[in-house]
Structure 1
Amino acid sequence: MTLKDFEQEINPTIVERGFAYFTENVVNNLDKVAPGMWLAQVHGSEVYTVEIRTHRTKIKSWSCDCPYDGGPVCKHVTAMLYAIAEQMDLDKAGPSQKGGKKRMGNKEKIEEILNKASQKDLQAFILSQFKKNLNLKNAFIAHFAEHLSEDQEEKYRLIVRNLYKVAQGRRGFVEYRSANTLFSSLNELAQKAANMLVKKNLTEALIICKTLIEEVPVMLQNADDSSGRASDVIHNTWNTIHQLTEQAPPLMKDELYAYCHSEYPKEKYKDLRHLFVDLMIKLISTGEQEEQFLALIECQIEKEKSNPNHFSSEYKITQLLLTKLDYLKRLKKAEEIVILLENNKQYPPIRKVLVEQALARKDFERAKGLCQKGIEIAREKQHLGTVRSWQQTLLEVAVAEENIPDIRKKTKELYLASPHHHFDYYRKLKATYSPKEWPAQCENIINTITTSINSYDVIYLLAAIYIEEGYHERLLKLIQKQPKSLTLVDSYAQHLQDAYPEELLALYESSLKAHATNTGRNIYNEVVTVLEKVRKIKGGQNIVEQLVSYFRMEYSKRKAMMEILNKYFPEIQ
């Protein structure tokens, strides 16, 4: 879409309304703020901010903060497109056709006013605008908060909260674009904390970090952070905190530990608690702190056990248990480690630790028993993924034990029973047999797949085996059973084109004709992409000419198809 033809690409009703807005001069403050980037305010039922990006006359993207959801382009964007087109015509015309005087942009106008207006008049104007525009007022406070006489904690909290207020829309929610701006500004503040640390100003760096730690989680509950900018703020803030602990004196470390201990239980940190845990472990320096930390973890475990969202709570409980386990290992508290593991082996990761301990002692029967019980528990809960995980662990036990019969049994089960039929298991099974023994076993697997698996996956399972074993004739016969599936034919063409070019071309011909019965530019583009591949097969040029001629005759009324064929095959009529 370009500035010359956008009227043909937009809904006629929207074009009419947008043009009316343009002629009524409701597009205000049109400004080219950067090469190809235009901003303006369009006055409708409210004032909406519109952003449009162009490259020469091509329209690359647009956005408007109005609530319109009836199509890709609203009337405010359309009005601004007319305004941009007019502005570009004026710029092209030059000074001679605009009264002989070069037209100033908004930036130049503002600079001239700021140079000429008195400070008193500017102050009066700014104060009058604050009464009309709360967002402007909040932005002003956030930007100049460093000049306030309040203490540092209040100052930075005021900066952060005002940035948040500026970003909030009419309904109090921070939309995607505003969220980018908000979290970019907060990231600059996080960087400031890092800079303070370099300057050995630990106190102010800590104040900034604590403010961000406390305020950002609240913002995330009410913001569209699809871009992940908030994660950058959180990561950089905690990274600075960890660096700070390496420089902090003992008293500051104790204060920071107490801070983490008090903040950790708060609900707003439910997905960030691990960050407090990691820091507390680093800060513990006394037996009292150690006891407080373990009690805090145990308290959180009990709290999660009462959580009605069982799946979520089980994951969190497991993570807390593993954290406690790691810490007990650091303290070398063997008895407490045994108690923790035995009392919590209903959780798969904890049971897995017991399996690893058994393997380390080469107690294979104990390891197998733990796995089998894990499978029973998982099946009762209908956790099929966990069942497969334990089956994989049983295979690991068999490998450690060098138990060939068990390795064969487990790899075959995992290959045939897994919904994804990972081919690695097939290769691991094959590796346990000699070249002389394998062909008979391979035929047994092929027979099992053919008779026992009832799904479309059978074709792909068999095809993978035929390719692995070099059974190209069987692969060809397999694909010939589905001659109209372009995806299937194209997936395995590279394995057939040298030995069976004629048969492959016949498959391509039937599958392309079947595929072309569908409509849409994506379909037509897929067809020409495959035709280019067919050209490279021995004898393929003739098939391509026949197919293109067939498509031109059969689908002559499909304008888009004809356009694409003309583009890629102009010589074939």
Structure 2
Amino acid sequence: MLIPFESFENYIEEKILSRGFSYFEDSQVNNLVEIKPGNYEAQVLGSDEYCVKMVLEEGLIVKHSCDCPYDYGPVCKHMVAVLFAIRETSIKSMNVNEVSKVKNRKPLYQQVEEVLVKIPDVELRKFIQENCTKNQEFRNTFFASFSDLVECQNKDYFAKQIQSVLNSAAGRDGFIGWAEMPRMVRAMEPFLDHSQSFYNNSDFEKVFYFNTALLEEMTAAFEFGDDSNADIGYHIDFAENMLYQLANEDLPEELRITFFTYCLTSFQKKIYEGWNWHLSMLNIAKNLSKNEDEADEILKLLETVNGKYEIEEAQSIQLSILRQFKDEDEVADFIEHHLDNPAIKRSEIEKAVKHKNFKKAKEICKDGIEHNKIDKPGLVTEWYNWLLKIAQTMKDSEEIIKYARILFIDSFRNEQDYFEVLRAQIPREDWPGFVQDLLSEIKNQHGRVKNELLTKIYIKEAMWKELLSYLKINPYLQNLQYYEPYLATDYTPDLLKMYTEQISKYLSKNVGRNHYQTACGYLKRMKNLGGVAEADELIKNLREQYNNRPAFMDELNKI
């Protein structure tokens, strides 16, 4: 999302904005520099030191990033702190009284350019050579940035460069902690960019060398790195995706054979055993195979796979290979003996439906329901959904009602609005009785799903009295807030009474500013409902009851 810089406060959550401003006011933003026009970088001190990057173009924030672990929204408090710092810098630079200061505070990119122009080439080379020798992080950045200029770029070369980056990020104990991971990610960025450039320029050999090296080194890094932010996993995914893309290219035969052999060998040597990409090697090899002999090599290895889910995935790869290289009888025989595999079953249902062989499709679905009813309710739901879609395709009203009713009551994954599907099939004069029968059946059930279904029907059928009765039995604050819009017109006094009771109960069990803010939020809802007098009376009582909680008194003052 593009955010206007001059009014960024209007686009950021109030809580994040407030915390970011506090960081800015407390001078927690350090080393703010304009690397090049509109490109800013700064360090922000929080529970750790975080690197924030901002790109402004034509008055808009077009890019922003922070290496903190916050992932609940697009902008974190550290980014907000930097935005305030950039604004302050911009305002000062326009102040005529600050001209002398601005002259001595040129943007970083200008300072760098002025120095580079003055340095003789010999001195610059000497500086780079000396720092590459004594500073490992500088050396990593240098080789990562210009790795495409190195003549001998084989797998060993890339492996050593990646190892160097990992080693420089590791602490004295050889472990890459959570705080060091962002440094590793930044150092690897140029390598990933070069890999993409290699691919775009059809330099497929380098793509193969780099990404096999990356996959191996990052897999090994799980042993000495904290991947709680999935930084290592990100590089694994990058390498695996690049190898899949590469396998679908028209490769030179020598490289294709090398690549194919690597996939088989890495699987045989169990380089990636225990990880998802262990089996991916055979899937990639499948995409590279050109003849039946190569297919047989893969099939032989697939027979050695262990583990329930791994075997199911292996069988799907086997079927794909059989369809490509074997005759129809062998394919049909394999399917018949492995139809308990959900992926194969799904594929056969899709195939039968596509060819309008609905009888066969229904038989497969019913077999799946019977086979999975004890231990795999998710798959049972999927097979029922297929039966419903088949019935809809065939315009079979009786079966549509049958399966939509089952799915409405028992499904926890809704592909359609089953209630509306039922409404469309039941004659209008029969609908009220059908709904009452449905409610009776649901009321005999137990658990959370029962209440969800009941309230869903109450809302869809505008059964507000029944919804209010449910709410009086379950008057939790979250429920009150959720169902308030449906009941406010006719039952405001009841809602206000329940709010009063539940807010008081909530405060009797919870202490702390966050809880006080929550309670005050519900007090505001009472006022918005028209219960100003009721809310004020409750606030008065709460002030008397909790006058020893200054944080709560502070929050009440904000209402």
**TM-score, with length taken from structure 1:** 0.68
Corresponding residue number in structure 2 for 1:509: 500
- When residues 134 and 441 of structure 1 are mapped into structure 2, their CA distance, relative to the original with a 3 A threshold, is same
Give 3-state SS (helix, strand or coil) of 1:37's partner. Answer: strand
Shift of 1:443: 0.7
Cα distance, 1:217–1:563 mapped onto 2, change above 3 Å: same
Distance in structure 2 (CA, Å) of the matches to 1:165 and 1:530: 53
1:232-289 Cα offsets, whole Å, 9 max, x none, are 74377448737963xx6xxx2x1232123112231446634787677766666xxxx3
For 1:401 and 1:128, locate their aligned partners in 2 and report how far apart those are by CA, in whole Å: 74
User: What is the identity, as a one-letter code, of the residue corresponding to 2:209?
Assistant: T
Whether the 8 Å CA contact 1:371–1:391 is kept in 2: the answer is yes
| CA 1:502–1:319: 2 relative to 1, 3 Å | same
1:256 aligned onto 2:255 = yes
Could you say if the C-alpha distance between residues 543 and 557 of structure 1 is closer, same or farther in structure 2, counting changes exceeding 3 Å? Answer: same
Query: Unmatched 5+ residue regions in structure 1?
Result: 8-29, 41-48, 65-93, 97-101
- 516-525 or 136-145, which moves further after superposition? 136-145
Distance 1:468 1:408 in 2: 18
1:497 Cα shift? Answer: 1.0
Q: Among residues 332, 340, 347, which one is paired with 1:346 in the alignment?
A: 340
- Secondary structure of 1:499 counterpart: helix
Unaligned runs of 5+ in 2: 1-21, 35-39, 55-64, 70-97
Residue 136 of structure 1 contacts residue 166 of structure 1 at CA under 8 Å; is this kept in 2?
no
Contact 1:411 1:426 in 2 (8 A): yes
Aligned to 1:465: 457
SS at match of 1:519: coil
Cα deviation, residue 294, structure 1: 2.3
Q: Which residue of 2 aligns with 1:393?
A: 386
* 8 Å contact kept, 2:391–2:399: yes
Alignment of 1:230-245 (within 5 A): 230=235, 233-234=238-239, 237-238=242-243, 241=246, 245=250
Structure 1 residues 243 and 415: alpha-carbon distance in aligned structure 2, compared to 1, 3 A threshold: closer
Higher RCO, Cα 8 Å, sep 6+: 2
What corresponds to 2:195 in structure 1? 190
Partner residue of 1:335?
329
Deviation at 1:36, TM superposition (A): 6.8
Question: Which residue of structure 2 aligns with residue 26 of structure 1?
Answer: none
| Residue aligning to 2:230 | 226
Quick one: which amino acid aligns to residue 37 of structure 1?
Answer: A
The answer to whether the 8 Å contact 2:156/2:213 transfers is no
Report how far residue 358 of structure 1 moved: 4.5
* Mapped contact 1:138–1:165 kept (Cα < 8 A): no
CA distance in 1, matches of 2:440, 2:115: 86
The residue aligned with 1:298 is 299
3-state SS, counterpart of residue 345 of structure 1? coil
- Partner Cα distance (1:467, 1:52) in 2: 49
What residue number does 2:168 align with?
166
SS at match of 2:454: helix
After superposition, the C-alpha distances for 1:414-459 in whole angstroms (9 at most, x for unaligned) are: 2223356888223222322111101111111111222x21224433
Cα 1:327–1:520 shift into 2, 3 Å: farther
Q: What is the alpha-carbon distance in structure 2 between the residues aligned to residue 357 and residue 549 of structure 1?
A: 69
Residue pair 1:479, 1:489 contacting (<8 A) in 2 also: yes
| Distance in 2 between residues matched to 1:105 and 1:37, nearest whole Å | 13
Partner of residue 184 from structure 2, selected from 176, 179, 182: 179
In the TM superposition, what whole-angstrom CA distance separates every residue of 1:66-87 from its partner, at most 9, and x where no partner exists?
xxxxxxxxxxxxxxxxxxxxxx
Identity of aligned residues (%): 21
Structure 1 pair 379–545 and aligned structure 2 pair: CA distance change class (3 A): same
Distance in 1 (alpha carbons) for counterparts of 2:491 and 2:301: 66
RMSD: 4.5
Report the equivalent of 1:20.
none
Aligned partner (choices 424, 430, 437) of residue 431 of structure 1? 424
Q: Aligned partners of 1:457 and 1:385: how far apart in 2?
A: 15
* Per-residue deviation, residues 71-119 of structure 1 (Å, max 9, x unmatched): xxxxxxxxxxxxxxxxxxxxxxx9x9xxxxx899999899989979997
1:530-541 alignment runs, 5 A limit: 530-537=522-529, 539-541=530-532
- Aligned partner of 1:526 in structure 2 is 518
SS in structure 2 of the partner of residue 436 of structure 1: helix
Q: Deviations over 1:376-416 (max 9, x none)?
A: 33246x22222232233333344444443333332222222
Q: Does residue 1:447 correspond to 2:447, yes or no?
A: no
The equivalences for 1:9-158 within 5 A come to: 37-38=42-43, 130=133, 150=152, 155-158=157-160
Q: Are the counterparts in 1 of residues 352 and 360 from structure 2 also a CA contact under 8 Å?
A: yes
Q: Is residue 310 from structure 1 mapped to residue 304 from structure 2 by the alignment?
A: no
Correspondence for 1:562: 553
Separation (CA, whole Å) in 1 of partners of 2:215 and 2:468: 58
Q: Aligned pair in 2 of structure 1 residues 428, 116: CA closer, same or farther (>3 Å)?
A: closer
Letter in 2 for 1:458: K
Residues 463-519 of structure 1 show CA distances to partners (whole Å, capped at 9, x for unaligned) of 211111111122122212233x11111111111111222222222222222233322
Distance 1:352 1:62 in 2: 41
**Residue identity in the other structure for 2:411:** S
C-alpha distance in 2 between matches for 1:496 and 1:173: 57
When residues 431 and 147 of structure 1 are mapped into structure 2, their CA distance, relative to the original with a 3 A threshold, is: closer
- Bigger Rg over Cα: 1
Aligned partners of 1:36, 1:346: CA distance in 2, in Å? 55
**Could you tell me how far 1:561 is from its partner in structure 2?**
1.6
Whole-Å separation in 2 of the counterparts to 1:492 and 1:522:
23
Aligned with residue 553 of structure 1, among 539, 544, 553:
544
* CA distance in structure 1 between the aligned counterparts of 2:117 and 2:168, rounded to whole angstroms: 24
- Match runs of 1:464-483 below 5 Å: 464-483=456-475
Q: Deviations over 1:345-387 (max 9, x none)?
A: 121221233334544566555444333332333246x222222
1:75 is aligned to: none
| Further displaced range: 397-406 or 463-472 | 397-406
Q: Give me the whole-angstrom Cα distance separating, in 2, the residues matched to 1:300 and 1:383.
A: 29
CA distance in 2, matches of 1:2, 1:565: 25
| Aligned residues of 2:302 and 2:314 also touching (Cα < 8 A) | yes
User: Do the aligned residues in 2 keep the contact of 1:193 with 1:240 (CA within 8 Å)?
Assistant: no
Match 1:495 to one of 483, 486, 489: 486
1:6-37 Cα offsets, whole Å, 9 max, x none, are 99xxxxxxxxxxxxxxxxxxxxxx96666672
